[in-house]
Structure 1
Amino acid sequence: MKNSIMFTSILQSILTPEEVQTVAEDTGYEDKARKFTVTRLLQYWCVSALEQWDSYRSGVDFAASSGLPVVHYSRFSTKAAEVPFAIFKELFHRVIHKCSRETRRKLTFPKELLLIDSTTMTVGKTRLPWAPYHGERAGIKLHVALRAESAQPLQVIQTLGSRHDGPVSEALAQPDYIVVMDRAYGKLERLDDFKTHGQSFVIRLRDNVHLEKPHALRRLQKPDSSVIRDITCQLGTPQCRSRQRHRVVMFRDFEGREIRVVTDLMQVTAEHIAQMYKARWQIEVFFRWIKQHLNIPTLFGTTENAVYGQLFCALIVYVLLKWLFDAAQTPWPKHAVLSFARFSRLFLLQNLPVEWLIQIQRVLLQSTSGFIN
């Protein structure tokens, strides 16, 4: 059995046709098709991400070998442009909810880290005239809140490429997490608001932010510590200054560069603050992985529905693959130990070790009943 066929079976066990239809109806979309339904479009989009199809036309050539009913590529294209992408966004967040693991490891930090950043996909401006970006390019963004503990998205927001990251981060922030963000998000007013409303944060400061009235925090310097300085201060100049005092930790990264981060956490060591910010690299790895393995830079369509529908279905594939990988973990013999990248590759090539195939079947048998609403 091909893994693409296996994948569509897994997808259908988690998102049944009845549930997909319900979501479509709740969105206000009336699916009049008898054969190429929203469920079928979902399957086409997911398999296109998994197998990295090049286009609508080339994709339908592989449909039969992937276990999908063959349709003319124009039907695929028309349906993709017609179905509201809000359906696939809702299905994506439902998959996140269903596949989230309730068991938690003991956390090193007081709360789980939530890594927030965005990635941009660009094409020529004539492809997406509704999404102007820079010069002759058009672009769209995915703003992602990624759980550091599980490397699974918690929430995703789509915008035009020209939309600034900062305001969107406020919608992605969650008080139950410590948000970790890069310097594009470090607006002084936002830092004050986060602190006022109890949103814990670790955010890199821009290099030109002035530190006003610094006060050193008493601490024992560890001999091998990368921390340079640990202070509280106000941020900015008299013309634009934070209302509150904030803690600023300065440390050197693995390349020796000085990094300054601001945080509201006062009962955590400076070394732990530095570790929290370094964990932000996981979201960069996530963006690189989905672009390399899920065909995200290759946008098939030119309408909002087609573009965002394709992207959210690709994210569904990531969530399911990561869930399968994590849920199937067990004390493997040395020859069967796999990284997530290797697991995904062997899954696509139909060449997983037999131990993994057996374990995945066990996971699916135990979990399927819990996925049915």
Structure 2
Amino acid sequence: MDNHTIKTVFKEYIHPLDSKVIQKMLDHAQIDKYVKKLDVLTFMNTFIYAQLKQLDNLQRISDTIKRKKTVQRLVGIESISKSQLSRKNGDIPSEIFQVILHHLIQKLHHILGPKTAGKALGKLHLIDSSTISMCLSQYEWADFRDTKSGVKMHTSITFCEGISYPNEVILTPARPADETQLDSLIVLDKNVLHVFDRGYFNFKKFDTYCAEGIRFVTRIKTNTVVHVIEELPIDSSSPITRHAVVKIGKMKNPLQLVETVDSKGNQIRIVCNDAKVSAQEMSDLYRNRWQIELFFKWVKQHMVIKKLYGKSENAVYNQIYLAMISFCLTLLMKNKIGYKGTLLEMLRWIRDFCSHSITTLISKVFKEPERSSRGRRRLDHEKVFQVTVAQYELGDVLLLDDLTYDPII
């Protein structure tokens, strides 16, 4: 078996993309009709490799392909210039990679969904947005503030048993308010409980969700008018200071209200439209909202999205979608080989063994420790004492005058 037929880690990594299905979609849309060299699949493989290796500019990508034969075999192209990469990145409609990302998200739901089924509170979807700031003079299309531009990632993630994976990602210029995308991030499933912050506060939407059986937990603003319907008892030993049934603002439907304090001692008020959720569960659920902040932090630190490859809207959106695609592929690989470490550790394994065979990666990941020593052992002082006493009783006392270090154990 030669190097061209060995199933490499990178080939196994991109396998969930289903290249045949993607090619049919591209053929139907006639995306690569007149392309001879850098088609969409090759472009996608190239930029996924760049995400893995954290190649943060087009020149580095071009140079890496040109110098390394192994990389050429992995991505399927022998050489490509910086300008060609730039043109292709700006020309491919970002909707293509958005569809591919949704395809991977469905795979994650299919694989990880059954593992989260049967939980007491059902599926937990966390909703928030994160802004990537950019230079105003170079990205005028990305309206944000008077002094800078930006792109906002409106995201919902599924979180259960310590695992976070995206459910929806919507990219827009940073100017529109978060609540404009809330309906698109909501899942029409009565088993799903949505958790979001005050940026998505809208009385009319909340009433609609109550009428449609969509469950949610959110934090209310400090100036929100609260009409108390009934005060409920609380456990004096818990951090919850108040539990009540209320109506807020202009809402017609009642909600549960819980008042508690955060880690800094500041009061927070949380509402939920599910009467079956206890006060303590409401508090715990809202605290889980921090997991989506950790998700954004992880993606920004370990995927290439802070330094942008291009300046057009298509180029920026393509890069972010490809980063999210790489995140999903990493999680799918971790699940496939049954790796129990962190997602970052899995990413590093893939990054280091990208051009090696998949069997090599698995053997390294699950290799038994070579060390056979039992480690540093404590001296059994009681045993030493008993042996010394026995020697003394037998008359063997010369050792007591010997200063040579010769431990019994």
TM-score range for the pair, normalised by the shorter chain length:
0.7 to 0.9
Question: Once the 2 structures are TM-superposed, how far is the Cα of residue 358 of structure 1 from its aligned partner?
Answer: 4.0
| Alpha-carbon spacing, 1:109–1:28, altered in 2? closer, same or farther (3 Å) | farther
Matched, 1:338 2:349: no
In the aligned structure 2, how far is the partner of 1:26 from the partner of 1:118? 33
Contact 1:328 1:356 (8 Å CA) reproduced: no
In the TM superposition, 1:1-373 aligns within 5 A as 6=8, 8-27=10-29, 29-64=31-66, 65=68, 66=71, 67-68=74-75, 69=77, 70-100=79-109, 101=111, 102-105=113-116, 107-149=118-160, 150-176=163-189, 177-219=192-234, 221=235, 223=237, 225-236=238-249, 241-329=250-338, 338-350=341-353, 357-358=362-363
- Which whole-Å CA distance do the structure 2 matches of 1:151 and 1:309 have between them? 22
Alignment-mate amino acid for residue 301 of structure 1:
G
Q: Do 2:14 and 2:329's aligned partners in 1 also have CA atoms closer than 8 Å? A: no
Once the two structures are overlaid, the 10-residue window that deviates more, 310-319 or 146-155, is 146-155
SS in 2 for 1:249: strand
CA contact (8 A) 2:186 2:194 kept: yes
Which whole-Å CA distance do the structure 1 matches of 2:293 and 2:253 have between them?
31
Task: Tell me, in whole angstroms, the C-alpha distance in 1 between the residues paired with 2:167 and 2:28.
Answer: 22
Which of 11-20 and 72-81 deviates more? 11-20
1:166-204 CA distances to partner (integer Å, 9 max, x unpaired)?
Answer: 020111101321110011112222211111111100011
Residue by residue over 1:118-162, the C-alpha shift from the partner in whole angstroms, topping out at 9 and shown as x without a partner, is 111111112212112112211111111100124111111111111
Q: CA deviation at 1:264?
A: 0.6
Q: 1:118, 1:141 → 2: CA distance?
A: 6
CA distance in 2, matches of 1:22, 1:106: 34
Contact 1:116 1:181 in 2 (8 A): yes
The number of residues matched between the two structures is: 346
Conserved in 2, the CA contact under 8 Å of 1:231 and 1:249?
A: yes
The 3-state SS of whatever aligns with 1:121 is strand
Shift of 1:78: 0.7
Distance 1:109 1:182, change over 3 A: farther
Q: Could you list the runs of 5+ residues in structure 1 that have no partner in the other structure?
A: 331-336, 362-373
Change (3 A) 1:257 1:130: same
Deviation at 1:355, TM superposition (A): 9.3
Which amino acid in the other structure matches residue 234 of structure 1?
Answer: K
Report the residue type matching 2:227 in the other structure.
E
- Specify every segment of 5 or more residues in structure 2 that has no aligned partner in the other structure, as ranges: 367-409
Alpha-carbon contact 1:27-1:86 (below 8 Å) kept: no
Question: How far apart, in 2, do the equivalents of 1:107 and 1:18 lie?
Answer: 35
- State the shift of 1:234 in Å: 1.6
Q: RMSD of aligned C-alpha atoms?
A: 2.6
Provide TM-score, normalisation by structure 2. Answer: 0.78
For the pair shown, the structure with the greater C-alpha radius of gyration is 2
Structure 1 residues 319 and 260, CA, compared in 2 at 3 Å: closer, same or farther? same
C-alpha separation between the residues in 1 aligned to 2:365 and 2:93? 33
TM-score w.r.t. length of structure 1: 0.85
1:238-285 per-residue CA deviation (whole Å, 9 max, x = no partner) reads xxx222222111122233322211111111211011111111111101
* Matched AA of 1:281: W
1:329-352 deviation digits (Å, cap 9, x = unpaired): 36xxxxxx6322233233323399
Letter in 1 for 2:302: H
- What amino acid is the match of 1:171? S
Larger CA deviation: 340-349 vs 50-59:
340-349
CA distance in 2, matches of 1:104, 1:222: 35
**C-alpha spacing 1:279/1:244, structure 2 compared with 1 (3 Å):** same
How big is the shift at 1:26? Answer: 4.3
What is the DSSP-based 3-state SS (H/G/I as helix, E as strand, rest coil) of the residue aligned with 1:35?
coil
